[in-house]
Structure 1
């Protein structure tokens, strides 16, 4: 199933499943700068229901994302997943790598019959997610030591 989803655009760009531990350096560089490496781990990293994907550019891992099975009471959908810890290294931003990685993950979740994808989005990433078809719900809220966020979501049905 994953082979059918491998959206290699050219020889230089490959998106594929990776291990949770492989996401840590990018999570640390992009999402948890200045914090201890332990702040980069997610409780669900090693669950069988969790999926991690990496985007490699010229064989270098430059972007990661994690999808965890997680139910929000904001939505009535029975099968929900949550996007966690998506990041693209600074030097590789603006090349549409984030969009390609996100679309790859959404396509994969659709093959798993996931009804809704939701997540807490940082304010700096709000337009990126809006431009990729996600909507905000509710009011802005603060995650201590991380900053202001909105819940964002999209139906995958």
Structure 2
């Protein structure tokens, strides 16, 4: 059974490091504004297995560093984290949620209604595209 909970920012770093940038130091995955964000973790059998971080400005949210431990990927944990995050954004009355998506993961985000913008860039050996979701507050 997987459970999503709000977590302390520093708890995200180990998961980000292992899942996203294992060749870098753990310092590489720390964000300057981590302590200004809201962070969620998904626990499997009481062990932290995945994380995502949300940063809000007004009624717009950006999520960053969605990461699931490699040996647990493909089991729906990222999907569960995204559904929780989107529901949280609706409760916060956000109108838009966006991210810098790795190009090789953009199909994952389209399943939740995100659409690609024309903004792309390359960083740290990965190609990114900015994707956005307009949030409808009706369920």
Q: What is the RMSD of the two structures over their aligned residues, measured on CA atoms?
A: 1.2
**What TM-score results when the alignment is normalised by the length of structure 1?**
0.82
Write out aligned runs for 1:7-18 (5 A).
12-18=1-7
Q: Deviations over 1:30-79 (max 9, x none)?
A: 111111111111122111xx210000011111110000124xxxxxxx61
Which residue of 2 is the match for residue 130 of structure 1? 110
> Per the alignment, in what secondary structure is the counterpart of residue 127 of structure 1?
helix
**What TM-score results when the alignment is normalised by the length of structure 2?**
0.92
Which residue of 2 is the match for residue 54 of structure 1? 41
Is the 2:2–2:77 contact (alpha carbons within 8 Å) kept by the matching residues of 1? no
- In the TM superposition, what is the alpha-carbon distance from 1:139 to its structure 2 partner? 4.3
List gaps (5 residues or longer) in structure 2. none
1:109 counterpart = 2:89:
yes
Which residue of 1 is the match for residue 52 of structure 2? 65
Structure 1 outlier segments of 4+, above 6 Å: none
Greater strand share, 1 or 2? 2
- In the TM superposition, what is the alpha-carbon distance from 1:140 to its structure 2 partner? 3.0
